[in-house]
Amino acid sequence: MKLETGMAYRSSTLIRWFAFISILFLFSVLAMFLDDYIRPWKGWQIKSLAVKREKLKKDIEAKLGKISPEKLAELENSFESAKDLVEERQESIRKLEGEINTISGQIHGAKLELSVYNGRVAELTFRWEHAHAHGDPRAPKLKKKLDHNRVLFAATKEKIKELEASKKGPLAKVSELKAELIAAEKEQQKLFGQVELLKGALAKTDISNPVWILRNAPFIDWLDPTIKVEQVVLDHITDDRYFRHVPKVDRCMTCHTFIDQKGFEDQPNPFKTHPNLDLMVGLASPHPMKSFGCTSCHGGEGHRINDFNAAAHTPQNLGQQKSWEKDYHWHAPHKVPEVMNRLQYTEAGCYKCHKGVEMIPMAHKYNRGKELIKDYGCYACHVIPEFEEKRKPGPPLNKLASKLEKNWVKNWIWNPFGFNSKSRMPSFFRQSNNSKPEFENKNIAEVNAMAEYLWDQSEEYRPFGRYKGGNVAKGKELISSVGCISCHQVEGIEASQKVGAKKAPYLTGTGSKVDPHWLVSWVQRPSHYAPETIMPSFRLTSREAQDVTAYLLSLKNDSFSAKTFAPLDKGVRDDLLLEYFMAFDTKGQARGKLAVLSDREKTLELGKRSLGKYGCYSCHSIGGFAPGRAPIGPNLSTEGSKPIHQFGFGHEKIPHERDTWIFHHLKNPRRWDKGQDKPFKDLSRMPMYYLSDDEAQAMTLTILGYTTHRVPEKGIKRLDANEAYAEKGLKHVAKYNCTSCHKIDGVGGDILAAYEDDENEGPPWLVDQGHRVHSDWLYHFLGNVYPIRPWLKVRMPSFKLTDREKNEITAYFQAKAHEHSFRPSPSAPVEWEPGERRAALKLFDALACASCHTTGFNRDDPMAPALQMTKRRLRSSWIEKWLANPQAILPHTTMPNFWEDGEAQEPDILGGDPKKQITALRKYLQEIGHDQIHGELNRSSTSR
Amino acid sequence: MKELVNTLSDPKYSFTGVIIGFYLFMKYYRTIGTVKFFISSMIIILGVFIWMMQDPNFHAIIVWPDNVPIVILLFAVIFFTWFSIYKAAINDARIEGGETPVEGSVENREKVWTWPNLVYTELMAGTLCVVILVIWSIFLKAPLEEPANPTWAPNPAKAPWYFLGLQEMLVYFDPWMAGVVLPGLIIVGLIAIPYIDTNPKGNGYYTMAERKVAMGGFLFGWLALWVYLIIIGTFLRGPNWTFYGPFEVWDFHKVVAEANVNLSEFFWIKGLGISMPSNIFLREIVGLIVTTGYYVGLTLLCNRSQLGSSLMKSLGKIRYYLLILLLLTMGLLPVKMYLRWLFNLKYLVAMPEFEFNL
């Protein structure tokens, strides 16, 4: 067909195409809106409505189920009869109601009038006052007007009161006439009120309701949607956006809809209730959601809700990862510098707000990791927050020669775990990256040289005791009973295995290790050899010391001591030294340097360099190494934020994740060298601790907590004065390991595992100790320990505490018990009420106190502490609390409760008033008390 | 096979391949400009592309949302280049046979109205374009990403695709040259084309035979220097801007041995065995001579050639020298690339004191 003139296409074709493209355009715009409208989180919210519906229905059912059918029938009956009655009285009711209505109308009218007068009075008051003050001649006229209006106002008010009074009569009558109906309605409200509320809530979850649909419809859902993004904005916890810190915004609750509501514990995620509402998220918890959000602890990108991956969710394990990949197309987050903590590492989030404390309350996993870091001494080589001031974890080596044998030391350095399976000294040699024969030869030369150097540096030490032989069985008995096992473990002593202490060396094999004379001196007075040691003295007699030594010497590891360490290969030594020298010198110069050294000097030079190379000086104090020398390992104080690409994964095929790297690094620090052709001097040196998975995981958690996050002052936990005192003292309590024996307010008491049968045989619990004992007594006691509980075999050791330490430990207990002021123990004589003393004496006999607290009363063996110590030791208020109910303080105590349920056993004394009896007894105890504050009582010196 | 492809993709080899390919393209444009050739070569290209897509590494690069449009654009480049050649081949055959080009035939001289023919078509094209963009944005999301983290820059950090050729030039030139001087000259040169090229041949119709120099010069710059470098920069440069073959994993740790040496260092230290003079002009004397020689010598050589003298005659001196200057500057890029690959040459003239490195 021919085209029109001047046309390239037919008009109809053009129009058809135009229509087609326009429709395409329309659809694409619709698709765009839908794409914007359909969000994964909306799906979750709609699903959550179904969950809520289900729960509400169940609640309603439960509520309805509680209403008995009889009651329901009764209610119906009363309704019926009430209606009938009211029907009969309808006539008079209507009349009365008419009356009430009329009066109400009149009241309304009067109130209108009143408001008019009120306004006039206010206005005239102002005008008159103004005129009066300025001497305006109109003042008297205004005053007159004002007074007039005041009268009208008062009269109207009076009228209203009258009307209201006249309304009361008919009202009362009506309610009297309707009484039965009102009662029935009340009853119904009582029964069904809550159900009605629940039904109201249920109606809100109905998504087929047209109003609901309208509010959430596309295009108009910005008006007043019910399905919407929920969020908290936290001013005092910020997110680092690199160029500025911005308030944290968490929108997690958009999908985790019921995270802060009880009753959804059994729902699958995301609808589950937070598992620990009392501590976290809950409104009444210390960390309510409104103030702390979610990602403050969990990590991740809390403001991002595009989809499941946006929040940087991190699976707990491979299994969960697989299921997430299936369900949510999970993939590792892109470019998120710090992803969400895995569930098992959640507590890593605690540290950033709870800094500067020895332990974080309730953060058990974090605390465990920290404890392990302390036990393994990681802080010696790495800078780790909170550990900057800690003592070196290894023993000092500066008097080594008097204690150990050189061959043993070499074998020990070479393979500590060969001697002691529970060694805390890690393995540097025989590892995956240095077991090539070439490397082993070099290592052997290094170990030989190190030992030589240590011997060369070793100072003279003369043990004060001499080992003369002792009773092995007695020694064993002593070790198991005096308290050694609270810190040490020994094979062969079952109790020590139960306690499983790791604080101090494993004692098995000691006989193949140390010099007998050294040992006998050491067990008696450790500070003689090592003034800085925390090993206390148990006040062993020299006989006891001989027995203990005899037992320890019997613990041998013959196969280890039989090994002779390979001799030093001088060629290898020289090669190693040359390599050191050549770092800065030419080969010729290096050779020259080497040539001027004598044979011994060469060995010592290599020894010192090797001790430096492996960082031995970090854990041990060694002569020739300045105390301030920088630790050998990298700083870990921001490890939890270290960019992932700064971790060396080498050629290892493991996921490139921060926590995975740390975990595997702890398990085997040398693994990253695999597949790399490194020269000897560049091999990884971090030693092997042979950690269990569980330990490595705990430490990983704690290390992950060391981030760069800066929480504003307002957001972090700040200690109050009491907590700060407690914290200071706790550092010493932790240093001296008090909690391995004492259970202090429920924490610690490791050794009690050995006293399962009777905890009274173990070290005492310290419950509210700051309240229990006088501060000055405790202070003196710490400096001069003496037995308090005569039946105990386990001994409170004597620590070498400084005055400051004693003070701070005392303050620790005082602060924990909220004993604010320092009150010295009483020295004034007791003041008695008339007849009280006689009653106290009678009571003392009647309750047979002296049958257990024998000291000073009879010659029997004491089964309870000497009462004469009470006066200076125990606080009055505590004595009374204790007497009133000892089991409430120490559940296992043998001290009887004489006033069970507030009933006196001796009703005749002091009228049977428990309070009076207890006070009298307390006064008596204080009267017989000694004024001696230091040291043990002389038993015979007490009399009645 | 994949190994071989990986190796040959390295610009060291593939650039020579591109030059040879370009030569063949110019020589046999009549064969290339046939539908048969297009269909058969598209079958081969798509086949190879599909085969390559089977490789997970190549697949990952191609389907990365940023790269999908580049792939589409590359196919568009192939098609439109071929289309112009196809039209040119037909016209050239007609011109040889003494006919007018297709565009000049009687039936094509008739005129039509702008309204509605052009305006309607343009409106529809515009709308269709929006539709495509909308649908594209629904399927290939371009969401806001994480806040910029100055301590964690993306690696590789890539410019937008249209600048990747420039970024690739940074491998061979000082940033000042590759980032300012050369792009500036490209823009100036493109603007100058209508003023330099006053030849009326080819106006309003496709032709190759009548405009061999112009077509060859432009297409070389466009295809071999611009598009090719974009391909390299987009698909074959990974972390640290290291070269990765199409089938290679982008391993962050890949190391390439490269120690580049300046021409002055070649001359004074390696050649004469003496230390470098402190006077920087004396130090860089060789490079300066070579560069001047490149511009002056080649210009003189051109003047003497038959093509050169005829061009000089038709264009006039100013236009002619401008053209030569632009062409020689364009030629610096391949020259520098070869010098780098052959001699590890860093700079011909290295004057960091003046921010002048060539």
User: Which one of B117, B135, B137 has the shortest CB-CB distance to A9?
Assistant: B117
Q: Which residues pair with A249 in a beta bridge?
A: A233
Tell me the chain A residues in contact with residue B134 when contact means C-beta distances shorter than 8 Å.
28-29, 31-32
CATH superfamily label, A400-619? Cytochrome c-like domain (1.10.760.10)
pLDDT for A366 equals 96
User: Which one of A21, A241, A306 has the shortest CB-CB distance to B128?
Assistant: A21
pLDDT at residue A943 greater than cutoff 50: no
B2 vs A325, residue with greater confidence: A325
> What would the two tokens of residue A499 be?
């306690």
| CA-to-CA separations, B103 to A299, A726, B95, B203, in angstroms, rounded | 68, 96, 12, 10
Residues of chain B under the 50 pLDDT cut: none
A28 and chain B: CB distance < 8 Å anywhere? yes
Contacts 24+ apart (CB under 8 A), B98-106: B101/B205, B101/B206, B101/B207, B102/B205, B103/B204, B103/B205, B103/B206, B104/B204, B104/B205
Residue for token digits 């009444």? Answer: A284
> What would the two tokens of residue B323 be?
């053209």
pLDDT for A72 equals 86
- Return the CATH number of the domain spanning residue range A836-941: 2.60.40.420
Check CB contact under 8 Å for A14 and B120.
yes
CA-based nearest residue to A352, from A638, A730, A660: A638
pLDDT for A941 equals 39
Same fold, A400-619 and A721-816: yes
pLDDT digits (tens, 9 = 90+) for A686-741: 999 999 999 999 999 999 999 998 899 888 888 988 899 999 999 999 889 999 99
Angstrom distance (rounded) from CA A8 to CA A444: 94
Rounded to 5°, angle at Cα A137 from A133 and A140: 80
Residue for token digits 């090229």? Answer: B197
What class, spelled out in words, does domain A721-816 have in CATH? mainly alpha
pLDDT at residue A824 greater than cutoff 80: no
Domain boundaries, chain A: 1-37, 72-177, 232-318, 341-385+636-718, 400-619, 721-816, 836-941
pLDDT digits (tens, 9 = 90+) for A359-401: 898 999 999 999 999 989 999 999 998 888 788 999 999 999 9
pLDDT for A934 equals 63
Tell me the chain A residues in contact with residue B108 when contact means C-beta distances shorter than 8 Å.
none
> What would the two tokens of residue A753 be?
């595992």
Angstrom distance (rounded) from CA A605 to CA A591: 14
Among all residues of chain B, which has the CA nearest to that of A242? B149
pLDDT at residue A939 greater than cutoff 60: no
Which value does ipTM take for this structure? 0.81
The CA distance from A361 to the nearest CA of chain B, in Å, is 34
Tell me the chain B residues in contact with residue A19 when contact means C-beta distances shorter than 8 Å.
none
Among all residues of chain B, which has the CA nearest to that of A29? B134
pLDDT at residue A940 greater than cutoff 70: no
Interfacial residues of B (vs A; Cβ cutoff 8 Å): 111-113, 116-117, 120-121, 123-124, 127-128, 130-131, 134-135, 137-138, 143, 145-152, 154-155, 252
Tell me the chain A residues in contact with residue B117 when contact means C-beta distances shorter than 8 Å.
7-9, 14
Angstrom distance (rounded) from CA A220 to CA A568: 86
User: Which one of B117, B124, B135 has the shortest CB-CB distance to A18?
Assistant: B124
Identify the residue among A24, A33, A249 best suited for mutation to test binding to B, counting B beta carbons within 10 A and taking the highest: A24
Tell me the chain A residues in contact with residue B145 when contact means C-beta distances shorter than 8 Å.
334-335
pLDDT digits (tens, 9 = 90+) for A80-134: 888 888 888 888 889 999 999 999 999 999 999 999 999 999 999 999 999 999 9
Angstrom distance (rounded) from CA A932 to CA A44: 72
Check CB contact under 8 Å for A21 and B131.
yes
> What would the two tokens of residue A771 be?
């309240």
Burial of A381-406, coded b for 16+ CB within 10 Å and e otherwise, reads bbebbbbeebebbbbbbbbbbbbbee
CA-based nearest residue to B326, from B202, B190, B227: B190
Identify the residue among B117, B122, B123, B146 best suited for mutation to test binding to A, counting A beta carbons within 10 A and taking the highest: B146
The CA distance from B111 to the nearest CA of chain A, in Å, is 7
The CA distance from A705 to the nearest CA of chain B, in Å, is 20
| Percent of chain A surpassing pLDDT 70 | 99
Residue A1's pLDDT band, with cuts at 50, 70 and 90, is low
Count contacts between A and B (CB, < 8 Å): 64
pLDDT for A191 equals 83
Check CB contact under 8 Å for A29 and B128.
no
Q: What does pLDDT average to over chain A?
A: 91
Tell me the chain B residues in contact with residue A336 when contact means C-beta distances shorter than 8 Å.
146
pLDDT for A936 equals 57
pLDDT digits (tens, 9 = 90+) for A135-179: 999 999 999 999 999 999 999 999 999 999 999 999 999 998 888
pLDDT for B297 equals 94
pLDDT digits (tens, 9 = 90+) for A867-924: 888 888 999 899 999 999 999 999 889 899 988 888 888 888 888 888 999 999 999 9
A188 vs B286, residue with greater confidence: B286
Angstrom distance (rounded) from CA A731 to CA A359: 10
Cβ atoms of residues A270 and A255 within 8 Å: yes
pLDDT for A192 equals 86
pLDDT for A106 equals 94
Among all residues of chain B, which has the CA nearest to that of A38? B138
Check CB contact under 8 Å for B112 and A6.
yes
pLDDT digits (tens, 9 = 90+) for A411-470: 999 999 999 988 899 999 999 999 999 999 999 999 999 999 999 999 999 999 999 999
Check CB contact under 8 Å for A242 and B150.
yes
- What lies within 8 Å, CB to CB, of A799 at 6+ separation is A534, A536, A736, A782
Domain boundaries, chain B: 2-104+117-141+160-169+205-241, 263-357
Tell me the chain A residues in contact with residue B113 when contact means C-beta distances shorter than 8 Å.
6-7
> What would the two tokens of residue B232 be?
């390299």
Q: A716: which DSSP letter?
A: S
Identify the residue among A242, A338, A638, A658 best suited for mutation to test binding to B, counting B beta carbons within 10 A and taking the highest: A242
Q: Which residues pair with A245 in a beta bridge?
A: A240
- What lies within 8 Å, CB to CB, of A937 at 6+ separation is A855, A856, A866, A868, A869, A930
> What would the two tokens of residue A168 be?
């009361």
Tell me the chain B residues in contact with residue A28 when contact means C-beta distances shorter than 8 Å.
130-131, 134-135
A12 and chain B: CB distance < 8 Å anywhere? no
pLDDT digits (tens, 9 = 90+) for A825-869: 777 788 888 888 999 999 999 888 988 898 888 888 888 898 888
Check CB contact under 8 Å for A8 and B128.
no
Check CB contact under 8 Å for A18 and B123.
yes
| Percent of chain A surpassing pLDDT 90 | 66
Residue B351, SS3?
strand
Residue A937's pLDDT band, with cuts at 50, 70 and 90, is low
DSSP notation for B331-343: HHHHHHHHHHHHH
pLDDT digits (tens, 9 = 90+) for A223-277: 999 999 999 999 899 998 888 899 999 999 999 999 999 999 999 989 999 999 9
The predicted model scores a pTM of 0.85
**Which stretches of chain B are assigned E, i.e. beta strand?**
350-351, 356-357
pLDDT for A942 equals 38
Check CB contact under 8 Å for A337 and B145.
no
Cβ atoms of residues A118 and A153 within 8 Å: yes
Angstrom distance (rounded) from CA A805 to CA A738: 13
A172 and chain B: CB distance < 8 Å anywhere? no
Check CB contact under 8 Å for A242 and B130.
no
